[in-house]
Amino acid sequence: MEFTNFPLAFQFQSPGPIIFELGPLAVRWYGLLIASAVLLGVSVSQYLAKRRNFDPELIGDLAIWLVVGAIPCARLYYVLFQWPQYANNPADIIAIWKGGIAIHGAILGGIAAALIFASLQKVSFWQLADLVAPSLILGQAIGRWGNFFNSEAFGRPTDLPWKLYIPLQNRPLAYKSFEYFHPTFLYESLWNLGVFGLLLFLFFQDLKGKLPLKRGTLFLVYFSAYSAGRVWIEGLRTDSLMLGPLRVAQLVSLSGMVLGLLGLAWLYLGGRFLPDVVSAHQNKEHSP
């Protein structure tokens, strides 16, 4: 990363996707970041669980389910929308270390895995969702830096004081003559860190009894706030997954934002509780 003489100006330039190679083994930044995000996320959620007198071991068990559900679905989601790229190179479908996962696919896979886990363990899905929501957004903030090291998922060309250099071989055909692009990985990472801070603030305000929350609140805030940021950031990108002329991530994010806000309205304007996989009397409890 290089700095110029302009105040608050900086230029990002990836050192490459590989940290080091040991014979045929290549250790990549992308994999390291995903592993770090998972480990840190489990630690954060287990800490929050302890503060809620919730068994932290269940969070550790849930983490395995989330990884198994989220990562393959994130890859499958990406591959389906980029099928022409993989149809002639099927071996690349499993080459996740090269990048190419979709967070919305990960969210869908994670939700499905968590619903099954909650049902088997006979615990509230929404309680689990609230405990892992801060870790999810923190993991997304960390994971976005994988795009930086892979020189992917960047925005349109820019000459702003903050910019990202993209090597010629990674530039879209239409932008071969441009060197600098919007660092959308950074925009989203910073946005996600802001959402992480908001969720922690709400969690501890609830813990102190200053702002009582119903189950599901933190997850719905996470879903709404993340989606809101993704809508505008996606509009800057040059490599969006497309469905005809529409950007898939924007459509899904708009839907997620609306669903999250409707859920919050259901809880606080309607004075109701979210449907759960556990018995009705458990749903009447407050706080995540």
For residue 190, which of 130, 127, 142 has the smallest C-alpha distance?
A: 142
Q: How far is CA 16 from CA 27, 99, 180, 182, in A?
A: 11, 13, 16, 18
Domain count, the chain: 1
pLDDT at 287: 46
Rounded to an integer, what distance in angstroms lies between the CA atom of residue 67 and that of residue 82? 22
For the question of whether the overall pTM of this predicted structure is more than 0.75, the answer is: yes
Instruction: Give a yes or no: residue 268 inside a domain.
Output: yes
Instruction: Give a yes or no: residue 42 inside a domain.
Output: yes
Task: For 20-49, write each residue's pLDDT tens digit.
Answer: 998 888 899 988 999 999 999 999 999 999
Rounded to an integer, what distance in angstroms lies between the CA atom of residue 147 and that of residue 256? 23
- The fraction of the chain above a pLDDT of 70, given in percent, is 92
Rounded to an integer, what distance in angstroms lies between the CA atom of residue 80 and that of residue 95? 14
Q: Compute the C-alpha angle 183/189/190, nearest 5°.
A: 95
Instruction: Give a yes or no: residue 133 inside a domain.
Output: yes
pLDDT at 1: 54
* pLDDT at 3 > cutoff 50: no
Task: For 233-264, write each residue's pLDDT tens digit.
Answer: 999 999 888 888 889 899 999 999 999 999 99
Per-residue pLDDT band for 283 (boundaries 50, 70, 90) equals very low
Task: For 110-158, write each residue's pLDDT tens digit.
Answer: 999 999 999 999 999 999 999 999 999 999 999 999 999 999 999 999 9
Instruction: Give a yes or no: residue 9 inside a domain.
Output: no
**For residue 106, what are its two tokens?**
């990960």
Instruction: Give a yes or no: residue 256 inside a domain.
Output: yes
Instruction: Give a yes or no: residue 49 inside a domain.
Output: yes
Task: For 66-101, write each residue's pLDDT tens digit.
Answer: 999 998 998 888 888 888 778 777 877 877 766 677
Instruction: Give a yes or no: residue 5 inside a domain.
Output: no
pLDDT at 7: 54
pLDDT at 9: 66
Tell me how many helices (H) and strands (E) the chain has: 9, 8
Bridge partners (DSSP) of residue 246 are 243
Q: Are 27 and 18 in contact (CB under 8 A)?
A: yes
Per-residue pLDDT band for 8 (boundaries 50, 70, 90) equals low
* pLDDT at 271 > cutoff 90: yes
pLDDT at 47: 98
Using DSSP, state whether 225 is helix, strand or coil. Answer: helix
pLDDT at 185: 96
Range of 204's domain?
21-283
Instruction: Give a yes or no: residue 15 inside a domain.
Output: no
